[in-house]
Amino acid sequence: MSEAVSIPEAAALLLEQKRILILTHERPDGDAIGSSFGMREFLRQCCGCEAEVVLPAPPPERYQELIGEYKTTLTPEEVAQYDLILLLDCANCERIACGPAVDPVSLPELSRPPMLNVDHHKGNNVNARWNVVMPQIAAASQLAAEIAMAMKRPLPERAATFWLLGIVTDTGAFRFSNTLSNTLRVTADLLDCGANLECVVNAAYYSKPLNQQKFEAELLETQEKLAFDGRYIYAYIPDELFAKYDFDMRDGEGVIDLLREVAGTKIAALYYRKGDCFKVSLRSKDQRYPVGPLARGLGGGGHDMAAGITLRGMDQKQVEALLLEKVAAVLGEREED
């Protein structure tokens, strides 16, 4: 049975647990990191819980120092000892990062332990035992902070800093249209609790390795393309470019924003090969041209203004042609209104 619950109900549920396993999505970004580790700190310090985060693959290098220790794997027996799985910032089962202990697709069906799903993506299909899914909220970190605040306990500075990280990165430092008045109110509350804004900004925006800067420069110089009178901008990242600069897309948060910042563009796309498939990131900077429906139509997901897709059975030219076709439809639909 799957049930939608409110923020206060989620808070009460967490207070009833002693051992909580925290999971998020694969290739965690700032919000996944912020919501997960912020909740770990809060549950440990304020609720007396034995809370643990599992990240099977290394997180972005820029967040390593802030994160500290975490688990990389658990056995099925260890998973079964937890009272609850808290899933944060993950829109679908296939993207749950839980390592070899549990099949991500079957995870929500487990009777031991049950799952609380906390997310802010449209089209969330996890269908856990309990679900707090609020697409109108800017970040999963904001939701996590509001759940913690509903427990009426002081927020530790470290937890507040993690949640601030998630909010800052998922709003593009409050530049994106998902920044609403309640986003700023929660941010102010976190700052009042001692959240370290300098630490967050330095980690998110001023910790770029030199190899990444050179990688991005060559990407823009050699791969950037425009279409539809400059309203669509896109780039393909060839394998050779990754190898040349020893760059991994787990550290690629923000690369697509280099495309989005070009004047006159409405939709940006960045794609690259990973194994036998292509990973596609999509961004819109005009609410009249949402990319979320486009992504969901191709089996992906995300927000109206930021979404992603995994495409299989295609080569690079076919991916490029498919994206051109779908983006043309999005732009054309609006032109006919």
Same domain flag for 189 and 137: yes
- Do 116 and 224 lie in a common domain? no
- Count structural domains, the chain: 2
Do 185 and 260 belong together in one domain?
no
Q: Which of 161, 185, 205 is the last residue of a domain?
A: 205
Residues 330 and 267 sit within 8 Å (Cβ to Cβ): yes
Domain that holds residue 310: 210-336
Q: What is the pLDDT along the chain (337 residues), one digit of tens a residue?
A: 889 999 999 999 999 999 999 999 988 999 999 999 999 999 999 999 999 999 988 899 999 989 989 999 888 888 889 999 999 999 888 888 876 655 544 554 544 689 999 999 988 989 899 999 999 999 999 999 999 999 999 999 999 999 999 999 999 999 999 999 999 999 999 999 999 999 999 999 999 999 999 999 999 999 999 999 999 999 999 999 999 999 999 899 999 999 999 999 999 999 999 999 999 999 999 999 999 999 999 999 888 999 999 999 999 999 999 999 999 999 995 444 3
* Count of other CB atoms within 10 angstroms of residue 185: 11
205, 227, 247 - which closes a domain: 205
> In terms of domains, do 185 and 88 share one?
yes
Alpha carbon 261 to chain centroid distance? 20
Same domain, 198 and 78: yes
**CATH assignment at residue 305:** 3.10.310.30
Task: Kindly state whether residues 174 and 50 are assigned to the same domain.
Answer: yes
- Tell which of 148, 170, 205 closes a domain: 205
Same-domain check for residues 63 and 184: yes
Verify that 192 and 292 share a domain, yes or no: no
* Residues 99 and 181 reside in one and the same domain: yes
